[in-house]
Amino acid sequence: MSKPIYILNGPNLNRLGKREPEIYGKATLADVERFCREEAGPHPIEFRQSNSEAQIIDWIHEAIDTQAGGIIINPAAFTFVSIAILDALKMFPGPIVEFHISNIHKREPIYHNSLVSKVATGVMAGFGAEGYQLAMRAMLSLIEKKSR
């Protein structure tokens, strides 16, 4: 049985599709979960969202303790400020894909310095909510390469 891929989403992403469609598009978080499940096929996934930093850290610990196959994480605003999430991710031995719906580098300077990028295997930004599918494809490929 393959090890599950964790898809962790940070604060405010539960509001996706309801505000600022010019930046984040019209897809809801439920649509995003569907994109991920479609791309993952039979590969098990754990799709989660929380507005709490502590909850996200606990889920990263869960991924470590259950030897998850990989983590795709959109830490949202925690990306730029959470040393605690960075420290938790450092303990995860598998592939990590940092994902952002918008191109954070095209935005205001407060969105430019990701702490999570320092530990991510790869970073994706600016492909819209559908980009989660690309992130899942990238993750499956990283897991496949690792198992060969």
Looking at 5, 97, 101, 140, which residue binds ligand CA2 (CB under 6 A)?
101
Q: Which amino acid would we find at residue 73? A: I
Is residue 125 within 8 Å of residue 103, measured between CB atoms?
yes
Which part of the chain contacts ligand CA2 (CB under 6 A), choosing from 39-47, 53-61, 74-82, 138-146? Answer: 74-82
Residue 94: C-alpha distances to residues 3, 13, 24, 139 (Å): 11, 24, 28, 10
Q: How far is the CB of 44 from ligand CA2 (least distance, A)?
A: 24
Among 5, 7, 8, 13, binds ligand CA2 (CB under 6 A): 13
Contact 140, 121 (CB under 8 A): no
Note the residues at the interface with ligand CA2 (CB under 6 A): 12-13, 15-16, 18-20, 24, 74, 76-77, 79, 100-102, 104, 111
